[in-house]
A and B are shown apart, each in its own frame.
Chain A
Amino acid sequence: MVFASVVSCQKNSRPNYQFMPNMYEPVSYEAYQESDAFPGGVEAQLPAEGSIPRGDHMPFEIENTNAGYELAKATLQSPLDSTQIDSPRGGQLYDIYCGICHGRNGKGQGTLVKREKILGVPSYDDAGRAITAGSIYHTIYYGKNAMGSYANQLNEEERWQVVDYVLKLKADLEK
């Protein structure tokens, strides 16, 4: 009886009691904590404007406009040389972030497309688009129309690895 009433009091939608909470609760701000000290009341804040993430060399200077896209398409080149290119890693990143829509082989038939959740994903060998390293980088960085930006999930070096992998898929498709 006692056991039953104890068990029934346990509710999974509330955290359990803690013993000596002052050793459990941090003094400093913890990730995802709420606090009045921050605008909006949340600990997660955008970085200050103009800051450069560690590991990224330079801010990306080309703008998010049609003109910027064309400029990138025509001129932008990968800073990685052939020794720095790590295809297996590029492939892993590609499968995580792009494969879900573009498909593992880049034909535009990822799981979400096959299930008709997202439509209109192009194949990389689409002649009308004629993508280049620069245009792929621009697309990953800013997104394009219905495709979002992946700049906050991939850092600069990773973006270029993915670009290289996409070019490889494109070459395979065109064969």
Chain B
Amino acid sequence: MIQVIYRQLASKIPYLGLVILLTFTTSLTAQEGDPAKGKTLYNTNCAACHQLDRKMTGPALRNVEARLAEEQGLDREWLNKWIRNSAGLIKSGDAYANQIYNEYNQVAMTAFPQLSDQDISDILAYTAEPKAEPAPTPGPDTGGTGGQVEGGISNKLILGALAILFALLAIALVLVRQTLNRFAEEKGVEIAAQDKGLPIWKAFVKNQFLVLVSVIFLMLASAYFVYGYLSQIGVDQGYEPVQPIHYSHRIHAGENGIDCKYCHSSARVSKHSGIPSLNICMNCHKSIYQVAEETQQMGIDEYGVDYNAEIQKLYKAVGWDEDEQQYTGETQPVKWVRIHNLPDFAYFNHSQHVSVAGVQCQTCHGPVEEMEVMYQHAPLTMGWCINCHRETNVKVEDNAYYTKIHEQLSKKYGVDKLTAAQMGGLECGKCHY
């Protein structure tokens, strides 16, 4: 009997070893995910709803495996099931699955049946990485500002140098005169005493012609300035108000290449381009709750703006509670200051120019994608409108609406291409009603 037992035991030892080995290896591979691969998988699959350190659509996932193991006693098995098919797990009546599902207002997490065990351990390895320390903020003398400061200094330097040069010249002249005088005195040369003739202004008054000319000149000059001043009344070229939220076209339309019409949607179809309502901002800013570090640093260095604080202003205005990831319902309108504004008696329509004529926004609004703060680029005077109507050809191709009138008018003017002016773009009633 004893022998038998022993024999069986002996034969089982390798098995036992194998089992132990297996458990070890599995647990080893389980923990040994590749965080780099995990990051890519995480960014493509999970990042839409999860962030590592804050709540989004789903809970924060930093150290989720350890957290769930500690707090809920759930193991990798549960996680695999959850990630592959959370809905199934919820239906099966799993207590924690249902609890978290209800906690997140029954938002369904996408199922990922295609992820292998290895993929999931990669992802979890990535989530288990310690939080990256914020990079040490570089001192004020970083590249960008360095250049600017240098520019400022060099400008001042040049000016200073010039001033000193002039001063030296003046001194040199005085000195030369003095020495010359001294020479003259020594040699006994009598410097002819200036004959006390008429003072210069009296001579001037006596010369009637000169008086006339200068009066005319003065009047012309002042008329020129007065005219210049009067004609710029009501023209707001360069107007650049401070906006309630420091919103930068340079960052949005320039660096990130967002199309103008994404936000100024109604330019396609209506008179106004419109200022985007805040829900459009939230399409992106639900996810973008702070700007990248370089962006932030650049804002502080070059423009003196705390970009992250500006995004907080946006959240305040729409009533977005970041911690709860919910709208609070308490909103306050943002009072954007209107920049481009024609007087009431002039009519301008965006869709006519943008959709029909196919004019680029930048033709009229200038290099918007480089503007940190929006300003008025064009004078928006009548002459400006008219000039362009005289010079710009109407896009008649592929526009059935124009076929007939194009034929008639090109016969009338004997030209192939019609300008907006020839089509009636100079008629007062088109713009004034």
Determine whether the beta carbon of A112 is less than 8 Å from that of B284.
yes
Interface status of A15 (Cβ within 8 A of chain B): yes
Interchain CA distance A115-B295 in the complex, whole Å: 12
Binds A, one of B23-31, B133-141, B254-262, B420-428: B254-262
Interface status of A153 (Cβ within 8 A of chain B): yes
Interface status of B73 (Cβ within 8 A of chain A): no
Determine whether the beta carbon of B375 is less than 8 Å from that of A120.
no
Determine whether the beta carbon of B234 is less than 8 Å from that of A97.
no
Of B114, B235, B259, the residue contacting A128 (CB under 8 A) is B114
Determine whether the beta carbon of A26 is less than 8 Å from that of B344.
yes
Determine whether the beta carbon of A18 is less than 8 Å from that of B344.
no
Q: Size of chain B's interface in residues, with CB distance under 8 A?
A: 58
Determine whether the beta carbon of B239 is less than 8 Å from that of A66.
no
Q: How far is the CB of A158 from chain B (nearest CB, A)?
A: 9
Name the residue of chain A whose CB is nearest to the CB of B241: A13
Q: How far is the CB of A148 from chain B (nearest CB, A)?
A: 3
Determine whether the beta carbon of A120 is less than 8 Å from that of B114.
no
* A15 and B236 in contact, given A112-B256, A112-B284, A153-B265 (Cβ under 8 angstroms): yes
Determine whether the beta carbon of A145 is less than 8 Å from that of B107.
yes
Interface status of B272 (Cβ within 8 A of chain A): yes
- Chain A contacts of B240 at CB under 8 A? 12-13
Contact with A along B274-310 (1 / 0, CB 8 A): 1101011011101110001000000000000000000
- Chain B contacts of A149 at CB under 8 A? 279, 283
- Chain B contacts of A19 at CB under 8 A? 230, 233-234
Interchain CA distance A14-B375 in the complex, whole Å: 11
Determine whether the beta carbon of B277 is less than 8 Å from that of A152.
yes
Contact with A along B10-47 (1 / 0, CB 8 A): 00000000000000000000000000000000011111
* A120 and B43 in contact, given A16-B232, A32-B275 (Cβ under 8 angstroms): yes
Determine whether the beta carbon of A34 is less than 8 Å from that of B335.
yes
Interchain CA distance A152-B110 in the complex, whole Å: 26
* A32 and B234 in contact, given A13-B240, A111-B257 (Cβ under 8 angstroms): no
Interface status of B78 (Cβ within 8 A of chain A): no
Contact with A along B81-118 (1 / 0, CB 8 A): 00000000000000000000000001110111110000
Interface status of A42 (Cβ within 8 A of chain B): yes
Interface status of B197 (Cβ within 8 A of chain A): no
Q: Chain B interface secondary structure, helix, strand, loop or mixed?
A: loop
Interchain CA distance A152-B279 in the complex, whole Å: 9
Interchain CA distance A150-B57 in the complex, whole Å: 19
Interface status of A31 (Cβ within 8 A of chain B): yes
Name the residue of chain A whose CB is nearest to the CB of B339: A15
- Chain B contacts of A146 at CB under 8 A? 48-49, 56-57, 286-287
Interface status of A134 (Cβ within 8 A of chain B): no
Interface status of B343 (Cβ within 8 A of chain A): yes
Q: How far is the CB of B402 from chain A (nearest CB, A)?
A: 18
Q: How far is the CB of A139 from chain B (nearest CB, A)?
A: 12
Interchain CA distance A59-B350 in the complex, whole Å: 28
Determine whether the beta carbon of B232 is less than 8 Å from that of A24.
no
Contact sample, A vs B, 25 pairs, CB 8 Å cutoff: A3-B225, A12-B240, A15-B236, A15-B239, A17-B234, A18-B234, A19-B230, A19-B233, A31-B274, A42-B335, A44-B333, A95-B259, A96-B262, A97-B259, A100-B257, A111-B256, A117-B288, A118-B287, A120-B44, A120-B47, A128-B111, A146-B287, A148-B282, A150-B283, A153-B280
Q: Which of B's residues lie within 8 Å of A, judged by CB? A: 43-49, 56-57, 106-108, 110-114, 225, 229-230, 232-236, 238-242, 256-259, 261-262, 265, 272, 274-275, 277, 279-280, 282-284, 286-288, 292, 333, 335-336, 338, 343-345, 375
Additional pairs, 19, CB under 8 Å, beyond known A19-B233, A31-B272, A120-B46: A6-B229, A15-B241, A17-B234, A24-B234, A31-B274, A32-B275, A32-B338, A42-B333, A97-B262, A100-B256, A100-B257, A100-B258, A112-B284, A118-B284, A118-B288, A128-B114, A145-B107, A146-B49, A148-B284
